[in-house]
Amino acid sequence: MAIEVNGVSIETTDHGYLVNHLDWNEDVARKLAEIERITLTDKHWDVINYLRDEYINNGQNQPMERAVLKDIGKRWGTKPASKDLYLLFPLAPTKQGTKIAGLPEVMRKGGY
């Protein structure tokens, strides 16, 4: 499968994740979010950038929901509830957020 972004075809897996995370940029994120029917806000970008930073700069770490809540809470100055992340990414923050962040699919079950 592939998506078209700015005239460039970008390969995706059968589940819609980028085959190569290096193909990602903000326009790609917007296209992936559009496919997921999500309108990106500053809070979405905070989570997306956090997930990318963890993966790229922390040994390909794909944090579980509890770690995302804790670390995003530091960025936001208030600890969000799990519900807050699900309002941003209704199909699971660590999975749907990871997809829009252009990272490999998370294969573990559950959010904690």
Long-range contacts of 81-85 (CB under 8 A, 24+ apart): 82/111, 85/47
**Distance between CA 68 and CA 86 in Å, rounded?**
12
H/E stretch holding 51 reads helix 42-57
Q: What does the pLDDT read at residue 111?
A: 46
For residues 22 and 109, the answer to whether their CB atoms sit within 8 Å is: no
Q: What does the pLDDT read at residue 10?
A: 97
Task: For the chain, 112 residues long, give each residue's pLDDT as a single digit of tens.
Answer: 899 999 999 999 999 999 999 999 999 999 999 999 999 999 999 999 999 999 999 999 999 999 999 999 999 999 899 999 999 999 988 899 999 999 999 876 654 4
**Distance between CA 23 and CA 74 in Å, rounded?**
29
Q: What does the pLDDT read at residue 110?
A: 53
* Residue at 101: amino acid letter: A
The pTM of the full predicted model, rounded to 2 decimals, is: 0.92
Q: What does the pLDDT read at residue 106?
A: 87
What residues are paired with 8 via a beta bridge? 5
**Distance between CA 68 and CA 30 in Å, rounded?**
21
H/E stretch holding 95 reads helix 93-100
